[in-house]
Structure 1
């Protein structure tokens, strides 16, 4: 094979579906052309999409593993060629995203091959064999994943997204369709929930009804914010004296401005739970403030003396004992 998909994603063959998905998301954040500064970002993203599409699909993964173990087996692949040769792999189908709301979208899963047997197989293959009967088929459902800022979970938003989606023409041949859609993201969507866009999936055949398009919502992790289900973890910087004395602070959070009392002698990475201040889902999540103690630099003689006084006051304290 030209490329090893496990190496493309940086996972072992024993990787679980969750590990494969996690590796894909990490690479998508690094190489998606909308955000990446890498010179080969688009090419890498295409390869990552193809690898993930194969390894995230149980049947495709099983077939791929068989071909890895049996490189000289004559297995029928895309376009009737051996799957281990340089036939059609769908890598030219790369999607892009855009919006009108000032938000940055990234991390779309590649949609190619989400049509049962893939290009040249499944329902289209049957159509080619029995097309003369003019039998109608419903189009296959398609799936995509988008990453949006966490504030959308609290406010909701309507966004414009643009996809390049593999489809078939009237002759059953693969081609690319550029599709721009308005997506309403309601307030309170949890990580991993899907939005169903009726009849926006694969086109039907011979007058058949279109399939649906399912868009999975993922929230962008930043240096300060990460989301788990309906819970939000937000890193808060505090001074050493706020942590030691247990002072009250006011902070801007994804849920708005809040006043909290820092626990006396708070430690680094200690968490403060604000009940029901996470994503406002039907069952609200919690907002966890993660303490990050920041020490000021001693640039002046007065500041250096203050640290020396501090050292003298705690002369019997040894953190390495």
Structure 2
């Protein structure tokens, strides 16, 4: 049996608007073609978008509920909860025939009739006009609907937080074609990312979301920014943590060295007898937020050089003799 819109969104017919929205967002995260590993992700995404477009609108939802409650007037509950033959088998210039053979027509005098007037049915043309291209349109002017806002996430190098950048991204956006049918639209955009953006902050691109229906205004596209992280550098709020490799003698003698950091190349002074994993704080060298910059923490990683020559091995031997009382496992 084909799912109706409620089943497509995994909610009961009694679900509140908030419950419908929550379920839609959960499913959208699961089936978005950019991130989903499901084989039918694109088809699922189209189905839940179409379902949400109807159920998120109180008036459209009421009309859809009426159709579900009166399947005999729509040729039975067919695809997406509508009568599959209710609009494909026309019974004359001003009518159509349902799957049960019953004729339904509009007499263009303001009366909607079932079976030649056996039963009155008000608002019929409004329903078909509202659902637009899916039913071949209606005699009355169709209602315009604004496109849904879309959301995407991009990951950029941490250095972008300090300098800003323009990134070219390719996205798959759920939209509608000229006939009002859902489809995946692919677009490439140049996104200007200002410096000092917080992790998870969004950039709003007006009119770049889902296309409007029947000439309605396009939705907006929200791009969430995340920064590339690994074991050697990561972000916590406005603070940045970055690992710096140093030689054993630099750690012991406390030398000044130049190091590459997300904030650029910086000269730092290593304290004498520095230990592996020790953190050096560089004040206000973290992400430069507008309300105040964070700090940059350099995590010292002492790297022991390999001994590849006799001279180098002799140097290690001399080192061992100089520290013969040192017990690393004491």
- TM-score, with length taken from structure 1: 0.62
Alpha-carbon distance change, 179 to 288 in structure 1, aligned in 2, over 3 angstroms: same
- Confirm whether residue 164 of structure 1 aligns to residue 184 of structure 2: no
CA-CA distance at 1:124 after TM superposition: 4.1
Q: 2:326 aligns with which of 314, 317, 320?
A: 317
- Confirm whether residue 304 of structure 1 aligns to residue 268 of structure 2: no
Aligned to 2:49: 119
- Confirm whether residue 284 of structure 1 aligns to residue 248 of structure 2: no
Per the alignment, in what secondary structure is the counterpart of residue 214 of structure 1? strand
Residue 158 of structure 2 contacts residue 228 of structure 2 at CA under 8 Å; is this kept in 1? Answer: yes
CA-CA distance at 1:164 after TM superposition: 1.9
Higher-strand-fraction structure: 2
Kindly report the root-mean-square deviation, in angstroms, between the aligned alpha carbons of the 2 structures: 3.0
Q: 1:233 aligns with which of 235, 241, 244?
A: 241
Q: 2:232 aligns with which of 224, 227, 242?
A: 224
Per the alignment, in what secondary structure is the counterpart of residue 258 of structure 2? strand
Per the alignment, in what secondary structure is the counterpart of residue 210 of structure 2? coil
Per the alignment, in what secondary structure is the counterpart of residue 268 of structure 1? coil
Q: RCO greater where, 1 or 2, for CA within 8 Å and sep 6 or more?
A: 1
- Confirm whether residue 199 of structure 1 aligns to residue 220 of structure 2: no
Residue 269 of structure 1 contacts residue 291 of structure 1 at CA under 8 Å; is this kept in 2? Answer: yes
CA-CA distance at 1:171 after TM superposition: 4.1
CA-CA distance at 1:225 after TM superposition: 2.4
Whole-angstrom CA distance in 1 between matches of 2:191 and 2:34: 20
CA-CA distance at 1:295 after TM superposition: 0.6
Whole-angstrom CA distance in 2 between matches of 1:61 and 1:146: 18
- Deviation readout 1:121-180 (Å, 9 max, x if unpaired): 122464895351422222211111001111211111122222122222344422111112
Give unmatched runs, 5+ long, in structure 2. 1-20, 36-40, 65-126, 131-141
Alpha-carbon distance change, 281 to 131 in structure 1, aligned in 2, over 3 angstroms: farther
Whole-angstrom CA distance in 2 between matches of 1:274 and 1:111: 47
Whole-angstrom CA distance in 2 between matches of 1:139 and 1:113: 19
- Deviation readout 1:226-260 (Å, 9 max, x if unpaired): 22332221111100011112111111222122111
More displaced stretch, 184-193 vs 203-212: 203-212
Whole-angstrom CA distance in 2 between matches of 1:123 and 1:235: 48
Alpha-carbon distance change, 111 to 318 in structure 1, aligned in 2, over 3 angstroms: farther
Alignment coverage as a number of residue pairs? 225
- TM-score, with length taken from structure 2: 0.61
Correspondence 1:38-53 to 2 at 5 A = none
Per the alignment, in what secondary structure is the counterpart of residue 132 of structure 1? helix
- Confirm whether residue 249 of structure 1 aligns to residue 246 of structure 2: no
Residue 112 of structure 1 contacts residue 165 of structure 1 at CA under 8 Å; is this kept in 2? Answer: no
Displaced runs of 4+ in structure 1, greater than 3 A?
Answer: 110-115, 124-131
